[in-house]
Amino acid sequence: LELVFATNNAHKLEEVQQVVGDRFKIRSLADINCQDDIPETGDTFEENAKQKTDYLVNKYGLYSFGDDSGLEVEALDNAPGVYSARYSGSRDMEKNIDLVLESLGDNPNRKARFRTVISLFLNEQQHFFDGTIEGYIIEERRGEGGFGYDPIFIPDGYDKTFAEMSANEKNQISHRAIAVRKLADFLND
């Protein structure tokens, strides 16, 4: 079974590939020569994940899956949420992280979670798989690994940010790994 992963984010591709190993083959948008900016206009992770998948199904008739994900900060009414990639108005993650830290200020409630929703369209049917990891936002960036908001997020029960973990450590516990394992189990059944 060959699936196309409807993402332009190389970090997501790498993480997903690492979790599924050689259990099934994933093709990227680059592999199918698709350079389109796939629309993402929904209010929920589910809607956006489905939009990414539907786009490939409609344009190419391919089996595909998509990942919509983001950071929800409790004290910010769960922002940035579906706007995580462009919270500050641009895709500049330096600015996006600054805005989260500024908005939180010295608020003692640092609770946050990462969420991923994966949409899969297979055999004319729509499926969703989700993953969540709870944690908290620290006051300054730590670590060089990962991507996105990883330098300011520490999962509950750990003392390292996602950016201070190895790719393997993050992939044992992350929101994305949880969702991807559900996807892989479904496909293996």
Q: Which residues are annotated as a binding site for Mg(2+)?
A: 68
The residue from 54, 68, 72, 164 that contacts ligand ITT (CB under 6 A) is: 68
Decide: is 131 part of the binding site for ligand ITT (CB under 6 A). Answer: no
| Through-space distance between the first and last CA atoms of the chain, rounded to whole angstroms | 13
Residues catalogued as catalytic:
68
Nearer to ligand ITT, 68 or 164 (CB): 68
Minimum distance from CB of 40 to ligand ITT (Å)? 6
Q: Residue 98 interacts with ligand ITT (CB under 6 A)?
A: no
Alpha carbon distance 148, 126 (integer Å): 28
Q: Name 70's bridge partners.
A: 115
Please report whether residue 114 would count as binding ligand ITT according to CB under 6 A.
Answer: yes
Minimum Å gap between C-beta 65 and ligand ITT is: 11
Pairing state of beta strands 64-73 and 2-5?
parallel
Find tokens 């769960």 and name the residue.
78
Task: Tell me the two tokens of residue 29.
Answer: 């948008």
Asked if residues 100 and 81 have their Cβ atoms less than 8 Å apart, the reply is no
Interface with ligand ITT, residue 119, by CB under 6 A: no
Taking the C-alpha atoms of residue 23 and residue 19, their distance in angstroms, rounded to an integer, is 9
Where on the chain is the footprint of ligand ITT (CB under 6 A)? Answer: 7-9, 12, 40, 67-70, 84-85, 93, 114, 146-150, 162, 174, 176
